[in-house]
């Protein structure tokens, strides 16, 4: 797996990657809060406002200019279209809780485009301070897989299994793959929802919230040997470093765990993949 350029500014990575002001680094970090069960029109509108905020656009300018591809003043980032929901494999589903859906909402993604054509996804989540952009990630995975899933299974639920970076669409008792990682996991023709649950329960059942694994804050076990960690500063939090290595990190509630609720946190994006928490 090749790493994609890293995403948004971090407590320590912010200054290095985006040149954020020192006071931004010291800003208090909201604690992760549960996300809504589904993205309503109101949630999408709130995500859109956060994505279009002047401070967000200023940070996007620094993000797009970080490698010298475009100048800070010429970046002129804009937000295109409506925010889309991004779902991840649900730990309740893995645990076999009655009525649990295969996936849960992790964040909403807004497409950002610079004047020279660079694209990024703004991840917006509900925090204790309201809806905020919690990460910026290069590329268009969220939007591309939403489109592919709608075409492959209209009305289905598009979701990601972050532990192996696989994308699927689920519906009608079936789970169908949307990328090569999904094909390796469930086959080109997909699998039944029951068979998929059996697979993820075996793989992750001992790593759910409350498990000894999660309590230890353990990471590791899913990294590919020799993975390129990309241009991520050394002095980033352990959980972020684990993500950079494609490692399995403990399951915790809410998208805030990825970026701790502010633009002052780093997460790692894969080339056509995202390294993320379990």
Write out pLDDT tens, residues 213-236.
555 554 333 223 233 333 322 222
Q: What is the pLDDT of residue 12?
A: 25
Q: Distance (Å, rounded) from C-alpha 278 to C-alpha 91?
A: 9
As a whole number, the mean pLDDT across the chain is 72
Name the least confident of 73-87, 184-198, 244-258.
244-258
Among 210, 264, 255, CA closest to 236: 264
Does 149 score more than 90 pLDDT?
yes
Give the model's confidence band at 194: pLDDT under 50 very low, under 70 low, under 90 confident, else very high. very high
Model pTM score: 0.70
Among 252, 264, 261, CA closest to 276: 252
Q: What is the pLDDT of residue 210?
A: 60
The proportion of the chain whose per-residue pLDDT surpasses 70, expressed as a percent, equals 63
Q: What is the pLDDT of residue 51?
A: 95
**Quick one: which H or E segment has residue 51?**
helix 41-51
CB atoms within 10 A of CB 40: 11
Q: What is the pLDDT of residue 235?
A: 25
Residue 121, CA distances (Å) to 80, 140, 220 in order:
10, 6, 26
Q: Distance (Å, rounded) from C-alpha 157 to C-alpha 170?
A: 5
Q: How many H-runs (helices) and E-runs (strands) does the chain carry?
A: 11, 11
pLDDT single digits (tens) 157-190: 999 999 899 999 999 999 999 999 999 999 999 9
Residue 67, CA distances (Å) to 3, 63, 230, 263 in order:
16, 8, 13, 18
Among 85, 79, 59, CA closest to 7: 59
């Amino acid at each position: 797996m090749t790493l994609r350029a890293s995403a948004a500014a971090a407590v320590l990575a912010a200054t290095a990657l985006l040149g954020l002001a020192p006071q931004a680094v010291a800003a208090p970090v909201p604690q992760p809060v549960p996300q809504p069960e589904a993205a309503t029109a109101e949630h999408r509108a709130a995500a859109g406002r956060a994505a279009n905020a002047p401070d967000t656009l200023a940070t996007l300018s620094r993000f797009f200019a970080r490698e010298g591809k475009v100048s800070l003043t010429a970046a002129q980032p804009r937000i295109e279209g409506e925010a889309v929901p991004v779902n991840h494999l649900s730990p309740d589903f893995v645990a076999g809780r009655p009525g649990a859906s295969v996936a849960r909402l992790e964040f909403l993604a807004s497409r950002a485009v610079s004047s020279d054509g660079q694209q990024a996804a703004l991840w917006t989540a509900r925090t204790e301070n309201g809806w905020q952009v919690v990460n910026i990630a290069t590329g268009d995975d969220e939007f591309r897989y939403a489109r592919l899933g709608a075409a492959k299974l209209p009305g289905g639920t598009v979701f990601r299994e972050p532990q192996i970076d696989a994308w699927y669409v689920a519906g009608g008792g079936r789970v169908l793959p949307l990328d090569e990682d999904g094909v390796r996991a469930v086959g080109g023709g997909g699998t039944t929802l029951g068979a998929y649950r059996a697979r993820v329960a075996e793989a992750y059942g001992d790593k759910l919230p409350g498990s000894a694994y999660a309590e230890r804050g353990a990471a590791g076990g899913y990294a590919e040997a020799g993975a390129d960690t990309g241009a991520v500063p050394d002095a980033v939090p352990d959980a972020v470093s684990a993500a950079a290595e494609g490692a399995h990190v403990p399951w915790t509630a809410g998208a805030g765990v990825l970026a701790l609720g502010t633009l002052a946190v780093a997460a790692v994006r894969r080339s056509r993949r995202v390294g993320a928490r379990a």
